[in-house]
Amino acid sequence: MKLTPKQATLLVLAALIALTPFFFPSGYYYRVGALIFVNGLAVTGIVILTGYAGQVSLGHAGFAGIGAYACALAPVHLGLHPALAAVLGAILSGCMAWLVGRPILRLKGYYLAVATLGFGILVSMVLNNERWLTRGPDGIDVPDLGLRGLLKGWGLDLSNGEFWYFFSGLCLLVGAWLALNLYDSPTGRALRALHGSEIAARVVGVDVARAKLQAFVISAVYASFSGSLLALQNKFVTPDVAGFMHSIEMVTMAVLGGVGSVLGAIFGAGILTLLPQALTVFAEYEQLLLGLVMMLVMIFLREGLLPSILRKIRGTGE
């Protein structure tokens, strides 16, 4: 049986999520795994925006912030279930992306970068300053999702770490599946066309503005869900989730792993999530090494880590 690349990607992901826990020496590894999946979800959105459509955003943490704070605020103020609050956050993020995206996606390169950066900073500023609503920089509690308790009632008793590991893993699988389907759809083809050359895409009849906007909105929804998942898992959120460094982290994870493919980007999310954990013994040198890794990978492995490694293996293996 020959697997399509899409099936192969999903199979690899599913196998990893299901099998790695057998090697976990303690509950802490579930936490790290869950973080990788949460970041992986955000990064899958970046693949659609940057990898498929070739647009840069330095403000996607803003959408993660909207998703996270929706889970903190909607249950309290609107009486929504936290899961519905996450959906509401995603809708809000999508609408916001649509509104903001229409004017700013006309910009290119660095100008687009500074416009998205401005957007992200504005969101984080509102979260910091509107204390009456968000409780400011000290952060706010997020209600329990309640699903773990429900599963327990059905006889499936998972620890908190285990639950979030498998639940986030499942969300990532669904997210990856949708992104891979998008790749093969007419919209995906239009996006890839404009990545190559916007003018060429326009000439062959792609509605460039619409395609870009679609990619922007979809990736915002991914970031929003990632933010929601993080908030629900931590049961606590601060405005840092919308901060500039978080935006940079998302883009770096995606590009470092290989922004051209979903698996590559998730691989990048894994590496950058594990790095600070592995470097705790060298905590003093963590920043130094992180910066060095970012530069070296971008200079020597331009397509990202995973594609470069794969090519190397194929090149010598076959």
Partner 1 sequence: MSELLQFLLSGVTVGAVYALVALGFTIIFNASDVVNFAQGEFVMLGGMTTVFAHAAGLPLPLAALVAILATAAIGVALNKLAIEPARGAPVVSLIIITIGASIFIRGAAQLVFDKQIHKLPAFSGDDPIVLLGATILPQSLWVICGALVVFAGLWFFFTRTLLGRAVLATSNNRLAAQLVGINTNFVMTLSFALSAGIGALAGVLVTPITLTSYDVGLGLALKGFAGAMLGGMGNPKGALAGGFLLGLLEALTAGYLSSQYKDAAAFVVILAVLFFMPQGLFGRKSTDRV
Partner 2 sequence: MMKLTKTTTALATLALLGLAGPALAEIRIGATLSATGPASFLGDPEAKTLEMLVEEVNAAGGINGEQVELVLYDDGGDPNKARTFATRLVEDDEVSAIIGGTTTGTTMSIIAVAEDAEIPFISLAGAVDIIDPVKPYTFKTPHTDRMACQKIFEDMQKRGFSKIGMISGTDGFGASMQAQCKSVAGEYAIEIVADETYDPKDADMTAQLTKIKGAEGIQAVLNPGFGQGPSIVTRNYKQLAIGLPLYQSHGVASDGFIDLAGADAAEGVRLPGTALLIAGILPDSDPQKPVVTAYKTAFETRTGTPVGTFGGYAHDAFLILKDAITRAGSTEPAAIRDAIEATSGLVGTTGTYTMSPENHLGLDLSAFRMLEIKGGTWSMAE
Distance CA 171, CA 129 (A): 32
Residue 170, CA atoms < 13 Å, CB-side half-sphere: 6
| Binding pattern for the stretch 227-256 against partner 1, x by CB under 8 A and - elsewhere | -----------------x---x--xx--xx
Residue 119 binds which of partner 2, partner 1, none (CB < 5-8 A, kind-dependent) = partner 1
What does the alpha-carbon distance between residue 304 and residue 257 come to, in Å, rounded to a whole number?
A: 5
Neighbour-count burial of 115, counting CB atoms closer than 10 A to its CB (0-12 exposed, 13-18 middle, 19+ buried): buried
244 binds, among partner 1, partner 2, none (CB under 5 to 8 A by kind): partner 1
Report the site for partner 1 in 43-72 (rule: CB under 8 A). Answer: 50, 54, 56, 58
Closest distance to partner 1 from the beta carbon of 101 (Å): 12
By CB under 8 A, name the one of 106, 131, 210, 311 that touches partner 2. 131
Smaller CB separation from partner 1, 131 or 210: 131
How far is residue 305 from each of residues 5, 268, 269, 293, measured CA to CA in Å? 18, 7, 11, 11
Give the C-alpha separation, 269 to 249, whole Å.
9
> Strand, helix or coil at 256?
helix
What is the closest distance, in whole angstroms, from the C-beta atom of residue 181 to partner 2 in the complex? 20
Binding site partner of 240, from partner 1, partner 2, none, Cβ cut-off 5-8 A by kind: partner 2
Q: Kindly determine how many residues on this chain lie close enough to bind partner 1 according to the rule CB under 8 A.
A: 48
Indicate the residue type of 301. L
Calpha distance 202→194 (Å, rounded): 8
With CB under 8 A as the contact rule, the residue among 97, 117, 140, 194 that binds partner 1 is 117
Give yes or no for a contact between 222 and 48, defined as CB atoms under 8 angstroms apart: yes
Residues listed for the chain: 318
Q: Could you give the string, one character per residue 267-306, with x where binding to partner 1 holds by CB under 8 A and - elsewhere?
A: -----------------xxxxxxxxxxxx--xxx-x----
Residue showing tokens 């992104």: 179
| Amino acid (one-letter) located at 48 | I
Applying CB under 8 A, among 1, 103, 155, 280 the residue interacting with partner 2 is: 280
> Cα–chain-centroid distance for residue 126?
22
Does residue 183 contact residue 49 with C-beta atoms inside 8 Å? Answer: no
Amino acid at 81: H
Q: Among 84-92, 98-106, 125-133, 189-197, which window interacts with partner 2 (CB under 8 A)?
A: 125-133
The contact set with partner 2 (CB under 8 A) reads 8, 11-12, 15-16, 20, 23, 25-29, 31-32, 35, 128-129, 131, 136-139, 141, 160-161, 230, 234-238, 240-241, 263, 267, 270, 274, 276-278, 280-281, 283, 286-287, 309-310, 313
The contact set with partner 1 (CB under 8 A) reads 50, 54, 56, 58, 103-104, 106-107, 109-111, 113-115, 117-119, 121-122, 125, 129, 197-200, 244, 248, 251-252, 255-256, 259, 284-295, 298-300, 302
